[in-house]
Structure 1
Amino acid sequence: MNRFHALISMIFKKGEQGIYRRILRTALFGSFLTFITIGAISLCSMLILQTMLVEKGTALSEEVGSYLESTLEDETRHHLTETTLLKARVVGNIIHVCSLNVEFMAEKMSNIMRTPGDHVSKNLPVANDVKVPSHTPYVYYTPTLIRQGISDKVRQEISYASSIDDDMLQINRYYFDCAIIASKHGYMIRMDMLGGDGGAVLDDEPLRSTYEFKDKYWYRYTEDENKLVFTNPYMASYGKPCISVCAPYYDGEGFAGVVEADIDTDFIYERMKETNDDADEFTFIMGRKGAVLISHQKDGLFAAGDMNVDLRKSNNRELADAVERMVAGETGIATIENAGKTYYLAYAPLPDTGWSIGTIIDKSAIMENADNIEGYTLSAIHDRDRYLQKLILATGVMSAVLFAILLGSILRANVRMAKGIAAPIDSLAKGAREIAHGNLGKKFSIKTGDEIETLANSFNYMTDELALYMENLARTTAQNERIETELAVATSIQAGMLPNGSNPFPERGEFDLAAIMYPAREVGGDFYDFYLLDEHHLVITVADVSDKGVPAALFMVIAKTLLKENLIYSGDHKKLGAVFEKTNDSLEKSNDADMFVTVFTGVLNTDTGEFLYANAGHNPPIIMHGAECRYMEKAASPIMGTIGGLSYKTAKLTLAPGDRLFLYTDGVTEARNMSRDFFGEERFLDTARTKLAANSAEAGIKAVHDAVKDFVGDAVQSDDITMLELIYNGPSNEGKV
């Protein structure tokens, strides 16, 4: 303890400040400050780490919740769509089976009416006179027929028509409440299948003496339509809601009556309910005119009620659009807002009927689980934060104790160190200042036999390396500046080799033309070209070399020059195929880099609109004719530059005034956004359809390029983009578009 006190007194003693005392004092204070700094940094780091973990944890919980919401939403949308399709198949099968039975009985009745002698006459019980049990075919006479009197001819027709009873007994009894043969003469052959012991519907008053079926909606509707029909839900004579499947039958004079079968809407409701996987979802059936026919809801927007309510006219635009698609027979899913809530509506058509089935679920019911998981995650993160705070406090206490122990050891070590390094350190300090001021020729000569000598040698080596590095840096900087200058010149040269694509022929009223090229690097491998062979023939070309950069640009120059010179030299645009063959052979002979080029060249007769073209493996152009926008046929000829001796076919079409051709390279369709999604041929075709119409060629190209840029966003352009649009206006006396 006395030695420690004496050491401290010597260090802080007033008077002459020798190098030894200075080094020792510096070492002491340095050690102390180092520990304080490290401790402060460690503490700050842990506090910052805690804050970051809290922020990241909160963000993580939100991301987990967001991810779960997104996943649950996607799964729910998919599941809801599949469930709705299943419901459509189930309900559609019920109605389809009923339709088959009705059509079969209608055909059978038509056969009986036209050839009664081929059938056995029968006498069925008459509900006007006797009680008839359930599931038994019977005859009913309307009050009008009774007043008019039943002629012998009608009685004979009834006896033959009664032979349909065996077929009525064979129909499906599981969901048909009633099957009816309703004659235009006023009699009815009917079988009621209502279950229990209720018997027939029409053998009791008041229906027995009042029921006139020819006034009923289902009869009049079928007679008017004269085909298989499906009625909207209505209250049947037996007091239950149903839909009717009806078909006309015929005799030798034409319409003879209606075959009808009823399906209980409650039965359809239960079949739809069986496929509901979630208590929060409900199902409804939409009619042809936008009215809800059958629904799980008893009240509300989608409750079945007034058949005159057309939801396509709803003020809720999202709902109206969805109902419009349902009525159109589409399959899909929509998001709608109603009464402050968001719902998913999945829909699918019901075959044969013209109806659509829809399933609705409240979005908040789906997202509740995601919110619960997010809350649990956030709670776990808060528990971790409290543990981290305790850990930081314990670490601080342990660090203080350790610092006190180490400080004594450091003081003893500093005494020995100060004696050995004072002079060499002073020399190194002075020399380092010289080096810092630019004296890279400074050398140290220290012979202590320890790390100080090694440090001095390292300083010597460092100055040599710094001098060499500065020399190399100056040389590299000069080289890079020269390369950048050369690339800038190359870019300017390449741009100058392509014709000006901005309204290049303002004096020509027969057509409007524009073109543009955006290289992915300073220079590119795409090119376009256009020129007049003569007063009446315009040549257009778009091509794409397989590589990018300077090699591709050089190959592009060769290909462009050969193609144009060969076509001009041939003197006949009809030799376009031979020009392609000659150009391909020339490129193949000088193609040491194994590059290739895809080319589309066309020649337009500005008087007739005839367009002769050849396509060497290039993307098919887009052609617009009126409202039609489509891709031309894919290339039937191979690429250029790889194999000599190939043949190239030509084709032609005739452009009408107002028709447009849009040529491009794959840099358009293969442009990618930050999510690595392609712009794609379908999106490109939709863009062309909307952006090119009613625009000039130059404005159309700009609109398409803007659409590509908006899609790509901040993603780096990976390929050259070239576009050329030609609008044919017709002979010059027709004027420009």
Structure 2
Amino acid sequence: MHFRSVSHRLVVWILGASASLFILLSYYEYSTAENFLRQQIKTKTHLAKSEMINRVDNLVHNVSDSVHTLAAVVSIEEVDKEKIQSMLERIVAEHQDIYGMAIALEPLSDASNDQGFAPYYYHQGDTVAYEDLSKASYDFRSKDWYTRPVSTGKDVWSEPYTDIGGGNIDMVTFSVPVYSAPPKSRQLLGVVTADISLQRLGKLVSKLGVGENGYAYIVSDQGNMITHSNPERVMTNVSDIPVLPENREKMQQLFTNMLAGNTDTLRAPCRAKTNSTNNVAQCWISYQPISATGWSIAIIVPLDELNKTLLQYRDNSILITITGLLLLTVIVILISRRLTIPLLSLTQSSRALARGELDTEIPEFDLQDEVGSLARQFKSMQISLKDYIEQLNQETAQRERLQGELGAAHDIQMQMLPDYGKSSVRQGCWHLSALLEPAKSVGGDFYHYQMLDHKTLFFAVGDVSDKGVAAALFMAKTQTMLRQLCVITPQLNDLLALINQQLCQDNDSCMFVTVLCGKLDTETGEMELASAGHSPPLKKAEDCDFVAMETGPALGFYDDAAFAVTTTTLALNNTLVLTTDGIDEAANPADEHYGEERLQQLIRTAHSSDNDELLALILNDVVKFRADAEPSDDLTIMTITRH
């Protein structure tokens, strides 16, 4: 049968040729724009770097000029303490760039005492505060800002540090040694300093970032971070900054070149600053030394940020292309419409089929094109729909029967648990509460408790490796053995080993179960615990901490596995909390886990000492955290308190 498709040929040839032309033109425009924008980005980065260097240079020159001026006055004039302090206070008050200034004079100088004279004035809020650095507790002669200019006889910029006992902030210090001027013999009088806060430098650099996520930092000549967009990096040496192994060599070479005073702009891996986290990305890094200080400044601009305009241009080009193709499609459809009028009758028949009228008559056309083929396909579809709906009805009935069977299985499983899965037992001096909620109709969690004699309470919680019917059967097998063997097996490690051997037999499905069990002397509080791959319990006393204990492998892995027993004490009014991973692994719609720390904090701050109320508090907090998310695992909680 010869298949003739006029509309198909129109659509394929016209739209195909037009789409090819649009794509070629868009690609050419995109490539041209890409080269232009990348060159523009490099230029903007260079200009921003130059502006940063100028601002930092102006700042350090203003600070150094003030220090040199004061040093010259001290070396020439005979000044007393009051005049020195007055000069310091006035300079600090007039210069907002200077956080603080000090004059540390040697004991032999005219204005100092036996301990030396070291007045320090610094900004404190809107006022200028004073601190005496000659006090014994500060010992300014041991400080780097004093020893380096004294030993070298040169002006020195310090490494970034925290000035404890002086300005009490993170800062860098510019120090100038002061010697007596002629005609006096050359003699060291002391050191004049000025401090710049790292916060001030950080704000100055942060104002000049390139793009939304670009940032800059300053590194000292010793490789210590003076400023950084991440506060945790400040005062950290570049050698201590974590780098991915594959990027380590390239980043080490980059920092080596920076510390050597080189200038370069290159593409390298970096930590891209975003709204939520730090991600490793490819960035443009441009660095250059600051000649006045020996520092180096670097600008980092993520390629994703740089490409934002380029991506927007690409999206606009794609939108224009799609719009053009859509308009062309409309024209082609209008032209071919006259060839497809018979489709109207097929449309009416299809609407009747959509309403469920499967006995609707499908028109037949003696045509050898799309319309004739479509009519025959509709006829075939009508027959298939009838068969499908009949089959669907059968499957629906079968599914309803299965739901009923699962409901019965849920009831049977809960009957196997103590108190139908929700326990609250008070006997003498102890109180036990427990709750189990399966994630599906049936699940793999379980708990158990029973008195072994008049004063010994046996308890256990467990979690099978899967959910659903298979996990429920494995859980039933484990719980049955646990209930029977705990009475005749006095040692917990022997009990777990015996159950493990039984579960390893014929375990072709490789299922396993984690178990935490224990025995409590309800009169003395002595307690033994043993774990098979299960997380340790929490013990709430004055605080709330996890019980330190060893754990063996989960049951069902190795038939020769060994288990350890941990001995501890549950004091009066102390509570033991046992859970399965359905608590700490509960996830909210953002796929964040509830976590052990949240559970620990919740129990620590709980005001009620009643087990039932504590259990309800935990359950409600997990449900609130989970919000609308479906439970991902079975949930079990057990609390035990001695009164």
Report how far residue 467 of structure 1 moved.
0.8
The alignment status of 1:285 with 2:163, answered yes or no, reads yes
**Which of residues 634, 640, 659 is equivalent to 2:555?**
640
Structure 1 residue 473 corresponds to structure 2 residue 392: yes
Give, in whole Å, the separation in 2 of the partners of 1:473 and 1:497: 36
- Residue of structure 1 equivalent to 2:509: 593
Letter in 2 for 1:642: F
Determine if contact 1:611/1:653 at 8 Å carries over to the other structure.
yes
Counterpart-to-counterpart distance in 2, 1:687 and 1:217? 56
Q: How far apart are 1:646 and its partner, in Å? A: 4.7
User: Which digits, 9 at most, give the CA deviation of each residue in 1:333-392, with x for residues without a partner?
Assistant: xxxxxxxxxxxxxxxxxxxxxxxx99535886566446964999999699979x99x979
Partner residue of 2:535?
A: 619
Give the secondary structure class of the aligned counterpart of 2:357. Answer: coil
Question: What is the match of residue 457 of structure 1?
Answer: 376
**Identical counterparts, % of pairs:** 27
The residue type equivalent to 1:644 in the other structure is D
Deviation of 1:715 after TM superposition, in Å, equals: 4.7
Aligned-pair CA distance for 1:489? 2.8
Cα deviation, 1:39-93, whole Å, max 9, x if unaligned, reads xxxxxxxxxxxxxxxxxxxxxxxxxxxxxxxxxxxxxxxxxxxxxxxxxxxxxxx
Judged with a 3 Å threshold, the aligned counterparts in structure 2 of structure 1 residues 522 and 366 are, in CA distance, closer, same or farther, namely farther
Task: Report deviation, 1:541.
Answer: 0.7
Q: Secondary structure at the match of 1:529?
A: strand
Q: Gaps spanning 5+ residues in structure 1: where?
A: 1-174, 179-192, 195-199, 219-231, 236-240, 247-259, 277-282, 299-356, 730-737
Structure 1 residue 426: Cα displacement: 9.2
Tell me the equivalent position of 1:505: 425
Task: Identify the match of residue 469 of structure 2 among 542, 550, 573.
Answer: 550
Write the distance in 1 (CA, Å) between the matches of 2:198 and 2:365. 90
CA distance, structure 2, for counterparts of residue 701 and residue 365 of structure 1: 53
The Cα shift of 1:538 comes to 1.6
Q: Report the Cα distance in structure 2 between the residues aligned to 1:373 and 1:430, rounded to whole angstroms.
A: 56
Matching residue's letter, 2:158: E
Deviations 1:518-560 (A, max 9, x none): 3333322111112223332222110111111110011101111
SS where residue 612 of structure 1 aligns?
A: strand
Partner of 1:60: none
User: In the comparison of the two structures, how many residue pairs are matched?
Assistant: 414
SS for the counterpart of 2:452 is strand
- Structure 1: how far apart are the matches of 2:308 and 2:560? 74
Q: Which moved more, 1:455-464 or 1:624-633?
A: 624-633
Question: 2:567 aligns to what SS in structure 1?
Answer: strand
| Structure 2 residue aligned with 1:667 | 582
Instruction: Please tell me whether Structure 1 or Structure 2 has the larger radius of gyration of its CA atoms.
Output: 1
Q: Which moved more, 1:449-458 or 1:716-725?
A: 449-458
Give the Cα–Cα distance (whole angstroms) in 1 for the partners of residues 356 and 625 of structure 2. Answer: 53
1:700 aligns with 2:621: no
RMSD: 5.3
- CA 1:710–1:395: 2 relative to 1, 3 Å: same
AA aligned opposite 1:567:
C
Relative to the length of structure 1, the TM-score reads 0.46
Q: For residues 394-434 of structure 1, what are the alpha-carbon distances to aligned partners after superposition, in whole Å with 9 as ceiling and x for unaligned?
A: 969x969x96xx89x959x94xx59xx87xx7986886687
Q: Distance in 2 between matches of 1:378 and 1:649?
A: 59
Contact 1:674 1:715 in 2 (8 A): yes
- Residues 95-123 of structure 1 show CA distances to partners (whole Å, capped at 9, x for unaligned) of xxxxxxxxxxxxxxxxxxxxxxxxxxxxx
Q: Corresponding residue for 1:267? A: 146
- Judge conservation of contact 1:244–1:262 (CA < 8 Å) in 2: no
Q: Does 1:529 align with 2:448?
A: yes
CA distance in 2, matches of 1:379, 1:624: 53
Report the counterpart of residue 360 of structure 1 in structure 2: 199
CA 1:234/1:475 → structure 2, altered by over 3 Å: closer, same or farther?
Answer: closer
Given the superposition, is the C-alpha separation of residues 491 and 377 from structure 1 closer, same or farther in structure 2, using an over 3 Å criterion? same
Are 1:578 and 2:578 matched, yes or no? no
Q: 1:244 aligns to what SS in structure 2?
A: coil
How far apart are the structure 1 equivalents of 2:638 and 2:440? 20
2-structure distance, mates of 1:370, 1:383: 21
Once the two structures are superposed, residues 483-520 of structure 1 have per-residue CA deviations (whole angstroms, 9 ceiling, x without a partner) of 223223333333333224656223x2411221222333
**Maintained 8 Å contact 2:365/2:375:** yes
TM-score w.r.t. structure 2 length? 0.52
Q: 1:474 to 1:367 in 2, by over 3 A?
A: farther
SS in 2 for 1:700: helix
Matched to 1:618, the amino acid is: H
Q: Tell me the equivalent position of 1:654.
A: 569
**One-letter code aligned to 2:580:** T
- Range that drifts further, 585-594 or 654-663: 585-594
Query: For residue 297 of structure 2, what is the aligned residue in structure 1?
Result: none
Gaps spanning 5+ residues in structure 2: where? 1-101, 118-128, 150-154, 174-195, 215-304
Match of 2:637 in 1: 723
Structure 1 residue 242 and structure 2 residue 81: aligned? no
- The 8 Å contact of residues 170 and 198 in structure 2, kept in 1 or not, is answered as no
Instruction: Write the letter of the residue equivalent to 1:267.
Output: Y
